[in-house]
Amino acid sequence: MSEHLQYLGLSEENLPQASKLAERVFSYLLPSAVRPDACFRASLDPTKLDELNRKIDGESEAEKRLAPQLQYWIATLRGRIVGVTGLYRTVDDNPDVRWLGWFCLDDSPEVRGQGFGDELIQFTIDQARREGTKILRIETSDVPEEQIAQKVYEKAGFRIASTEPHPSHGHNWIIRERNLEE
């Protein structure tokens, strides 16, 4: 692979395109308050984070409120936004824990299948380390849409910590984690 992704922090300017991309890639997810667009807006505006947490409270006891340390980045290729990645904590997590958020690449053939998934996860791991993260976790699942992601995660050292049947989905939740101190 000769080309590499470039990265920028999520901003008011690139948010609309980042949301469009992530909402399209994650359109298979069930309706929920925790959508890419809502998370991206909450990362830039504390009042939007409060709004999102109120919706999370009203939605289900299983969903945890998000802590203010919400960060997202966009990945570009030849100036085009082609990917998104992020880090978040819930209010119940220890300060040295982060979760991977809305990790995805545009589903076009010139972007997917080029090894950029590995680059994007390595960038996110580096960012997590810079934030002092010791344990990086991923909430993923065995739905067909997330099969390739499992390869990327496994190769990047994220081991399965637990699996749990999804009550309404017919698939299993998978929690993966990697100790970034090892």
Which residues bind to ligand COA, rule: CB under 6 A?
Answer: 25, 103-105, 112-118, 120, 140, 145-146, 148-149, 151-152, 155
Residue 126 contacts by C-beta under 8 Å, 6 or more apart in sequence? none
Q: Which is nearer to ligand COA, 36 or 49 (by Cβ)?
A: 36
Least separation, in Å, of the C-beta of 149 and ligand COA?
4
Q: Which is nearer to ligand COA, 32 or 95 (by Cβ)?
A: 32
Q: Which residue has the tokens 């970034």?
A: 180
Q: Which is nearer to ligand COA, 32 or 132 (by Cβ)?
A: 32
Q: Which is nearer to ligand COA, 50 or 107 (by Cβ)?
A: 107
Closest CB to ligand COA: residue number: 117
Q: SS3 of 77, please?
A: strand
Least separation, in Å, of the C-beta of 18 and ligand COA?
13
Least separation, in Å, of the C-beta of 139 and ligand COA?
7
- Give the span between the Cα atoms of 47 and 42, in whole angstroms: 7
Least separation, in Å, of the C-beta of 86 and ligand COA?
11
Helix or strand run (H / E) with residue 71: strand 71-77
- Give the span between the Cα atoms of 170 and 33, in whole angstroms: 21
Q: Which is nearer to ligand COA, 11 or 147 (by Cβ)?
A: 147
Least separation, in Å, of the C-beta of 135 and ligand COA?
17
Provide the CA 134 distance to its chain's centre, in angstroms: 17
Q: What six digits make up the tokens of 28?
A: 């298979």
Closest CA to 93 of 131, 40, 120: 131
Q: What six digits make up the tokens of 168?
A: 């309404």
